[in-house]
Structure 1
């Protein structure tokens, strides 16, 4: 007997007041909650109103679940359709069978719709979610452990996984003979654990890299996709659960390769600073206290209270203007340098002085293009010269 072997649960369904409580569903819900909390923290740090993550999750979660199930049905249709299939089981998502690629694609569509409702740039939402999504995936993989599914090939490694023979006549419970739960004869690679640990490593990588480089325009999310697919590719090769193959290789391996290349191309081609947002109606001047009031009656709480209620929309601002707004509750005016950063971050600042010096708009757009390409200056220094003209 291998005393270092990883045991598996014998039960994945419990009944409370006659209702089934499934471990798989609990793990998925915990994963969603963890992802939302991490996204919420990161959205707030970029200027979004409190609990904007919930407004986005209302769209992203159902779209993600539908997308995940559709991907599973498309890539593994034999269990549900055709000879010997049971079409009604296509709706039994509690039995497992949620494809991560469909979840990401469907969830992205839902998040995009939610972001549009809030007026938030989609890149801000995607980058805010980037470290939280793999944490949620890691928790969700525990559901596969409870279900005794998605394990790998036989192994003699000390951390081999014990797998129970699950009773088809009593779903959610192991087969029992003479009072003992029946296990399969060998130990297997705990691929659920490999992916769980890999996902946590991906979350840490994305968080640290984003903290250092301040990715913008969805590049943190692209980094997550690249890192995740690298791990998913080799883990997928270890699995022995039923799956369709192409050229003798599991379809999910090809999907990992294609998705990795797409994310890599996006990461290399799309550049720009991190986007920060403030409400569209953020005040640009400090409110003047009424003549009849004294200093003690003046509200000096800053913008924190205003962020409790979601604004009607957001505008992208530079980091300097964002920090100033957070400190004072007043949004300082745009400089050409600020406008260039906002354009490079994906915003669309409006020229507030159409009758201003000729050439300012062209210089700002050129600076924004340069910043988006990772350059800090524009040949000729037009923006700086125009800034000095404005100051005079």
Structure 2
């Protein structure tokens, strides 16, 4: 059994300026995501340029931050939002939803596609392999901050979070960092290394993330104010992942059926 190191939530302090782990992880995610996207432009079947990657990154940042915050309040804290709508702007207080951030990125992709004349799925197929980078660092930030802890466990690697209680728990943040981050990253980069039908890469992302997050939720403590949504085991995270899994299967079926498709450029 292990004990959480109880990290200082402030990663770097420069006089009056304090950089929290969340901010640092978001910065790392965007920088490394940009670098990975630039590297992908070198692949012969990818017709994106370096300048386009930089332009699109701006919209992605907005989509992640705005969508993540709105999604968190709508999906997990609707009463807080109803009581004080200004909570939408209190980003520094924490509280971001991946599913909301994903919808924000979809909106950014739609806007960028319209602006550049690309197809929507050409954009999402290109960006999908970089998303797990952000997921990995986001879960590491959750671990550092000792939040979104796991359910009680008696496994040898169980961890006590003194900030929460003295019960040994699954280090579910690390499970998710490994599954949604590293495993999904490896699968998507392997799959996207060659030309695929349009929508296929996006389909693999939706199916892969949805399935891995659904699995990880069995080890993660449900939100105290929500508990189980149904059947005494279904969590909000699993509920939100169900349409992702179905959507991923649908996109893959359409992609490989060749229904109105062409070879994807990314």
| Same fold? TM cut 0.5 | yes
Give 1:257 shift.
1.2
Give 1:184 shift.
2.7
2:197/2:262 contact within 8 Å kept: no
Residue 345 (structure 1) aligned with residue 229 (structure 2): no
- 2:7 alignment partner in structure 1: 10
Residue 27 (structure 1) aligned with residue 25 (structure 2): yes
CA distance 1:216–1:39, shift in 2 (3 Å): farther
Residue 222 (structure 1) aligned with residue 203 (structure 2): yes
**CA deviation map 1:168-224 (0-9, x unaligned):** xxxxxxxxxxxxxxx731221111100111121111112212335x21312112101
CA distance 1:243–1:221, shift in 2 (3 Å): farther
Q: For residues 156 and 267 of structure 1, what CA distance do their matches in structure 2 show?
A: 39
- 1:74 alignment partner in structure 2: 74
In the superposition, the TM-score normalised over structure 1's length comes to: 0.60
Give the 3-state SS of the residue equivalent to 1:270 in structure 2.
helix
2:81/2:87 contact within 8 Å kept: no
Give 1:92 shift.
2.5
- 1:40 alignment partner in structure 2: 38
- 1:251 alignment partner in structure 2: 236
Q: For residues 202 and 120 of structure 1, what CA distance do their matches in structure 2 show?
A: 26
1:8/1:145 contact within 8 Å kept: no
Give the 3-state SS of the residue equivalent to 1:153 in structure 2.
coil
Q: Provide runs of 4+ in structure 1 moved above 6 Å.
A: none
1:22/1:94 contact within 8 Å kept: no
1:43/1:124 contact within 8 Å kept: no
Give the 3-state SS of the residue equivalent to 1:47 in structure 2.
coil
CA distance 1:94–1:191, shift in 2 (3 Å): farther
**CA deviation map 1:290-342 (0-9, x unaligned):** xxxxxxxxxxxxxxxxxxxxxxxxxxxxxxxxxxxxxxxxxxxxxxxxxxxxx
Unaligned regions of 5+ residues in structure 2, if any? none
Q: For residues 33 and 3 of structure 2, what CA distance do their matches in structure 1 show?
A: 27
- 1:204 alignment partner in structure 2: 186
Where is the helix percentage greater, Structure 1 or Structure 2? 2
Give the 3-state SS of the residue equivalent to 1:10 in structure 2.
coil
Q: For residues 264 and 110 of structure 1, what CA distance do their matches in structure 2 show?
A: 23
Give the 3-state SS of the residue equivalent to 2:29 in structure 1.
helix
CA distance 1:164–1:96, shift in 2 (3 Å): farther
CA distance 1:79–1:19, shift in 2 (3 Å): farther
**Bigger Rg, structure 1 or 2:** 1
CA distance 1:243–1:263, shift in 2 (3 Å): farther
1:152/1:239 contact within 8 Å kept: yes
1:202/1:227 contact within 8 Å kept: yes
Q: For residues 151 and 125 of structure 2, what CA distance do their matches in structure 1 show?
A: 35
RMSD of aligned alpha carbons: 2.6
Give the 3-state SS of the residue equivalent to 1:130 in structure 2.
helix
Q: For residues 104 and 249 of structure 2, what CA distance do their matches in structure 1 show?
A: 20
CA distance 1:243–1:131, shift in 2 (3 Å): farther
In the superposition, the TM-score normalised over structure 2's length comes to: 0.85
1:145/1:192 contact within 8 Å kept: yes
- 1:187 alignment partner in structure 2: 168
Q: For residues 44 and 112 of structure 1, what CA distance do their matches in structure 2 show?
A: 24
Give the 3-state SS of the residue equivalent to 1:20 in structure 2.
strand
Q: Could you say which structure has the greater relative contact order, defined with CA pairs below 8 angstroms and 6 or more residues apart? A: 2
Q: For residues 59 and 110 of structure 1, what CA distance do their matches in structure 2 show?
A: 5
- 2:216 alignment partner in structure 1: 235
Give the 3-state SS of the residue equivalent to 2:158 in structure 1.
coil
- Return the match for 2:132 from 131, 134, 138: 134
